Structure 1
Amino acid sequence: MTRNRWHIIREDNCLTVTRALPVRFDVVAETVVPDGSRRRLAQQVRQDLWRRLQDVRGFQPAVQVTREAGGCRITAGGRIAGHFPKARIESEIADLLASPKHRDRWSAQAAHRTHARGDLAHG
């Protein structure tokens, strides 16, 4: 697998972007955002998650976006090889998911892509 390869898994109303299979969440946090392109949401969250946790040795991000009534549930985290401070890392993920600046950007990107295609069901 090349360095830039990501797995994108679509199952019913859930889309997962992950570096490694099988998908594993050693650390995890969740939030709900307005409905939009699941793929775009997953990619945006994955990028910001990586930026936030890139110094955590052995971290491999995974993001799931599940369409549900009232929006999209984002499950963000991933696997980590070796020992790690679980509570601290999960707190950092939760802080990222709660950040108004990030949430606004993710929602705008997801809505922009969805409306540009003219189809809310894709992504």
Structure 2
Amino acid sequence: MARDRWHVIEEEGALVLARRLPARFDLAAETVLTGQVGRRRLAHLVRQDMWRALRHLRGFAPVVRVARIPGGLHLRAGGAVAGRFARADAEARIAALLADPGRRARWTGGGR
């Protein structure tokens, strides 16, 4: 697999973007977003920002799951980690990322 390849899978009505298969959530945070944005585009944008926030986490492989729900999108972001890590700190970073109003606007097209 080339370095820029990501697995995009439709699973139980949701789109899952993962670096490695099987996609695994050793850590995760969730949110609901409103707006009419494509699931694949949203997953890649969140993955990029999550990677920037957690690039220091050795062995981290991002996973993003996006599912349509009434009124918006349910997003679960996190991933797999090879080895020991501070779960609470890493999940707090992801939760802060998902709650950031500027990023949310950029992801959903509200910041144009």
Q: Same fold (TM over 0.5)?
A: yes
Q: Mark the runs of 5 or more structure 2 residues left unpaired by the alignment.
A: none
Quote the RMSD (CA, aligned, Å).
1.4
The residue aligned with 1:3 is: 3
Map of 1:18 onto structure 2: 18
Write the deviation string for residues 5-50 of structure 1: whole angstroms up to 9, x where unpaired: 1000023531011000001000000000014211111010001011
Matches within 5 A, 1:31-46: 31-35=31-35, 36-46=37-47
Q: CA deviation at 1:55?
A: 1.1
CA distance in 2, matches of 1:58, 1:45: 19
- Counterpart position of 1:97: 98
Partner of 1:55: 56
Counting aligned pairs with the same residue, the percent is 51
Which ranges of structure 1 fall in alignment gaps of 5 or more residues? 113-123
Structure showing greater Rg: 1
Moved more, 9-18 or 49-58: 9-18
Aligned residues: 110
Residue 2 of structure 1 and its aligned partner are, at CA, apart by 1.6
Q: What stretches of structure 1 move > 3 A for 4+ residues in a row?
A: none
